[in-house]
Structure 1
């Protein structure tokens, strides 16, 4: 599995100038139509309900005719990279309907410091009438000990910035660059409270072939067990069955433009890829 950050902290102004932003460019967005085509009717209906919140105006403009703008701005160098990566673009002529809080965090890893950009949709989190269907319990709740010969562990990273926002919703996710330029998000924001359910439904579970989520035709076989937690998948079963379904999951990821990286320990945390490893158990756990 990939090495996790030892500690994560908000970036200081000094960090923003000293530590380059880790953001890969020229990465395709996820193919949501492929994902939708795999979902069973009940899951697709739930997805459309939750996804519909993304385009919902969170609050009426204030008496001045403007939504509430925050004070934080994107550093010029970061904005240049984010534009190049297709994550932000200059705002359209549509009246601003909402603001994000742009900031970055520093991850302290064994091989050095890395800085990642976050777009926090404060107003939508506060005002959207969302009731979570994906409670964020500890990962151990979702990935219990595997009582099988082998387990394949997959990790989907940087997935939020891979989901394209419909153009008609982007005026709800705006902020400014240091020079005052008004920009808007083109991708699903990190930190949106409906995000875990959207991510788990439209990406992880569909790609993994979870039987309660996808059509029967594309579901995992009963010979393997699938455990999912947000962007993590574990496939457990016999070595041959786990290996075969792992290959299918990786093909699924490729079909919807989720980049695959099989040498997980070498992949930067900001790289939007799959890291995977096959673990063969020599004994059974109680």
Structure 2
């Protein structure tokens, strides 16, 4: 089983100074590799949802205007995010949308972790998005199983592995504490379509879930693969799990995904 946060709360100013930000220095995924493996219907869904991410929350005929929020990125966090390539100075394009930047503290068995979140308020309110498959609790996707071996992998800083096309970045702007105007370069974790992009399409493609990926690359029949957002669990016999875990890691390398191992053990 994976180590989930036992409690999550909004970070206070004191937390922002005392608790380091979660690692965000991850490479950008090669979406072209992902696309070549998807069933046509899944690829069509990916392009449909991805198109919503780059859609302005205000159509040309609308009189609505993007409203800048009051929250700003702490200077130390902005320095880390800029170094990791998550934010950059805003372009000369007129702002088309704003994000609300904040962080949350996750209490885990291994200690406290602070995760940075960008909430695109206007887009989440106005985008005509409905999840193709509703995301339920983790136990709907990773139910208890009995097996000789299990391997759990997860995408590190998963949402930040998706590069936003340059022409869409003006839709995701905010300011640093010193007033500097910046925009996101990666998929915002707070966008309502982000979990589906990750869960149903990307992670499933890397793990080779047969409802998403061509059976040509399917796992052996006796290997069970379960996926939940950025988590992958492989269960079965040791002789089957070990080589399939190696294959999943090769898949991750092929599309430049940054994977970490949560735990490998016996029966779960």
1:138 matched to which residue of 2? 137
Aligned partners of 2:111, 2:43: CA distance in 1, in Å? 42
Moved more, 86-95 or 110-119: 110-119
- State the TM-score, normalizing by the size of structure 1: 0.86
2:198 matched to which residue of 1? 199
1:15 matched to which residue of 2? 15
Deviation at 1:280, TM superposition (A): 4.1
Deviation string, structure 1 residues 187-222 (Cα, Å, up to 9, x no partner)? 000121111110013321000111111122222232
Classify 1:143/1:162 alpha carbon distance in 2 versus 1 (closer, same or farther; 3 Å).
same
Deviation at 1:29, TM superposition (A): 1.1
User: What SS class does the counterpart of residue 92 from structure 1 fall into?
Assistant: coil
Runs ≥4 residues deviating over 4 A: 60-63
- State the TM-score, normalizing by the size of structure 2: 0.91
> How do 1:86-165 residues align onto structure 2 when only pairs under 5 Å count?
86-165=85-164
Q: What number of residue pairs does the alignment pair up?
A: 267
Deviation string, structure 1 residues 227-269 (Cα, Å, up to 9, x no partner)? 2221222222222112221111111112212224xxxxxxxxx
Classify 1:280/1:15 alpha carbon distance in 2 versus 1 (closer, same or farther; 3 Å).
closer
Question: Which segments of 5 or more consecutive residues in structure 2 lack a partner in the other structure?
Answer: none
Tell me, yes or no, if the aligned pair for 2:147 and 2:266 is still in contact at 8 Å: no
User: What SS class does the counterpart of residue 198 from structure 1 fall into?
Assistant: helix
Moved more, 30-39 or 15-24: 15-24
Aligned partners of 2:137, 2:111: CA distance in 1, in Å? 27
Aligned partners of 2:229, 2:109: CA distance in 1, in Å? 25
Deviation at 1:151, TM superposition (A): 2.9
Deviation at 1:2, TM superposition (A): 5.6
User: What SS class does the counterpart of residue 152 from structure 1 fall into?
Assistant: strand
1:266 matched to which residue of 2? none
User: What SS class does the counterpart of residue 154 from structure 1 fall into?
Assistant: strand
Deviation string, structure 1 residues 56-81 (Cα, Å, up to 9, x no partner)? 01125886x85111110111111111
Deviation at 1:102, TM superposition (A): 0.3
Deviation at 1:139, TM superposition (A): 1.5
Tell me, yes or no, if the aligned pair for 1:170 and 1:185 is still in contact at 8 Å: yes
Aligned partners of 2:50, 2:256: CA distance in 1, in Å? 20
Classify 1:3/1:224 alpha carbon distance in 2 versus 1 (closer, same or farther; 3 Å).
closer
- State the Cα RMSD in Å: 2.1
Question: Which segments of 5 or more consecutive residues in structure 1 lack a partner in the other structure?
Answer: 261-272, 282-286
2:223 matched to which residue of 1? 224
Tell me, yes or no, if the aligned pair for 1:60 and 1:67 is still in contact at 8 Å: no
